[in-house]
Structure 1
Amino acid sequence: MEKQTVSRDGTRVAYERTGRGPAVVLVSGAMSTGATMAPLAAELSDRFDVTVYDRRGRGESGDTAPYAVEREIEDLAALIEVVGGEAALYGMSSGGALVLRAAASGLPVRRVAVYEVPYAMEDAAAPAAAEYTERLAEALGQGRRGDAVELFLRRTGLGEEMIRGARQSPMWAGMESVAPSLAYDDAVMGDGRVPASTIASVTAPLLVLAGGASDGWWHEAARAVADAAPDGTYSTVDGQTHRVEPGVLAPVLAEFLAG
């Protein structure tokens, strides 16, 4: 990341900015840094002033204890100030949950888009979410970063053989380096269910996307998020899954973000 700003609590936030036009800030999900969003930023930069950044505790950004979701919202506030005092927000996966909470908090947000925020649609999922939170806190508290990453990968549905393979891969060290931030994404997700009362405070136009090839529960969650917003729209991105291709997503986002 080439530039830095400072959040309200003194935490440095590293970011990169590209393109010209209306300001858009892209927010990554779990186990990701701003670099993860760079390909999408490149696709949008011909029409927008696009900012990607390392969320706190990742990449080149700092991390100030104790963590609170409000601090991450303040990070976004600092970035919005940098790009002119108003911006559209796009959030991927759990980054979408942060975007929704930020928009509901009253930040000067022009438009909001999220892709496949992993909310559960059944109350029966709450105990599993609580167990994950407890086991994640225990692993991180004991410094077992690898075990924390395993817990996350298992929760996303990755098989044991693939997890063992990941442990032996060159990318594992990087995954362990951002493992503490898994607790931050877990906090952003709350109890894992759609926070309808929070989303009801998102007054900006909201686009909620799911991949056309994704499992049905992604679509159920996306519809529920859109239905909870005063100005929410649900749509699909044809042929895509949770690993959405930037070149396919960008035209859909651009049309909405242009207003």
Structure 2
Amino acid sequence: MQTVISADGTRIAYEQYGEGPPLILLHGGSSPEYWKPIVPHFAEDYTVVVPHRRGVGESGDSDEYRLERGVEDVRAVIDAVEGTPLLFGHSFGGLLAIEVARKASVQKLIAYEPAILVDDYRDQADLAAQMQERINDGDRREAMKFYIREVMHGGEIDDLESWLAEWPPWPEIVALTENIARINRAIEQYQLPDALEIDAPVLLLTGTAGPPHLRDGIRAVDAALSSSQFVEFDDVGHGGPTEAPERIIAKVRGFIDEEETPVPESGY
């Protein structure tokens, strides 16, 4: 485990594996463990760097949180590694990756269903408030179930309890309830600009079984970029890289290994 000091003095931890050009993997609402099954697929050819989000894992925390703090944390990690990195973010990590790439030099950017709300989804967003209400009532477990139902399943799942019984992060992820509520406040406050200026090739990924609000969000990101590659994977949900690792890793490897890689729009 290595650490770096972010702009506000908070200690940010990051894991590092392998050797080669730096590939930074940014996790979403869960924990750095999300990337554990993915790391070996890249560590033979890349220096894989997995930061721990502020307040998660071995990283320090702060009393307040804004999206800008998360961007500063990632930039501190970028400054600590050798070489211009590739960024691969999932969910909230995808949003962070996009915002970092607007301000810092990166080789390429990959985002799987970045946590970006648009149109009515943003106007009506109250996930953080509903989570906080359950937290205030002393039921962190129900707050986390609400988050999982709404974010990972788009509010549509017949038997959440059975699904949770098979989901590896459960119930340990309940410990992150407050942290996840606050990043959702940051997500709800974020407004996607009409035009995104990113001076690097961009690959946007989604699954046909992903939540509608995030699928709308990633299409809006695609429209805001002057150039990007957009791929959707049949029958894959928000879990993405951990649900269909072979398909998604193959597409990501093709994108980052080639100078120019044409990517069809669907059918994976």
**Coarse TM-score class (shorter-chain normalised):** 0.7 to 0.9
Q: Deviations over 1:102-123 (max 9, x none)?
A: 212x1122211101225455x3
1:233 to 229, 236, 240: 229
Q: Which amino acid is the alignment partner of residue 181 of structure 2?
A: A
Q: Which amino acid is the alignment partner of residue 147 of structure 1?
A: E
Q: Which amino acid is the alignment partner of residue 252 of structure 1?
A: K
Matches of 2:148 and 2:94, distance apart in 1: 19
Q: 1 or 2 for the larger relative contact order (CA 8 Å, sep ≥6)?
A: 1
- Asked if the contact 2:208–2:233 (Cα under 8 Å) also holds between the matched residues in 1, the reply is yes
Matches of 2:187 and 2:211, distance apart in 1: 20
Matches of 1:173 and 1:215, distance apart in 2: 22
Deviation, structure 1 residue 72: 0.8
Query: How many residues are treated as equivalent by the alignment?
Result: 252
What runs of 5+ residues in structure 2 fail to find an aligned partner?
260-268
Q: Deviations over 1:144-182 (max 9, x none)?
A: 422321331232326474248849x99555222111221
Matched with 2:197 is 201
Q: TM-score if structure 1 supplies the norm length?
A: 0.83
Deviation, structure 1 residue 21: 1.9
Matches of 2:181 and 2:215, distance apart in 1: 25
Q: Is 1:55 the counterpart of 2:53 in the alignment?
A: yes
Matched with 1:33 is 31
Matches of 2:196 and 2:105, distance apart in 1: 16
Deviation, structure 1 residue 248: 2.5
Q: Which amino acid is the alignment partner of residue 135 of structure 1?
A: Q
Q: Deviations over 1:171-200 (max 9, x none)?
A: 55522211122134313423577x143x61
Deviation, structure 1 residue 214: 4.7
Matched with 1:252 is 251
Matches of 2:128 and 2:210, distance apart in 1: 25
- Asked if the contact 2:51–2:74 (Cα under 8 Å) also holds between the matched residues in 1, the reply is no
What runs of 5+ residues in structure 1 fail to find an aligned partner?
none
Residues 172 and 79 of structure 1: CA distance in aligned 2, closer, same or farther (over 3 Å): same
Matches of 2:100 and 2:189, distance apart in 1: 17
Report 1:121-136 matches (<5 A).
Answer: 123-129=119-125, 131-136=126-131
Report 1:59-138 matches (<5 A).
Answer: 59-84=57-82, 86-104=84-102, 106-120=103-117, 123-129=119-125, 131-138=126-133
Matched with 1:210 is 206
2:144 to 140, 149, 155: 149
Residues 96 and 170 of structure 1: CA distance in aligned 2, closer, same or farther (over 3 Å): closer
Q: TM-score if structure 2 supplies the norm length?
A: 0.80
- Asked if the contact 1:4–1:14 (Cα under 8 Å) also holds between the matched residues in 2, the reply is yes
Residues 183 and 101 of structure 1: CA distance in aligned 2, closer, same or farther (over 3 Å): farther
Helix, strand or coil: the match of 2:58?
Answer: coil
Deviation, structure 1 residue 226: 1.7
Deviation, structure 1 residue 56: 1.0
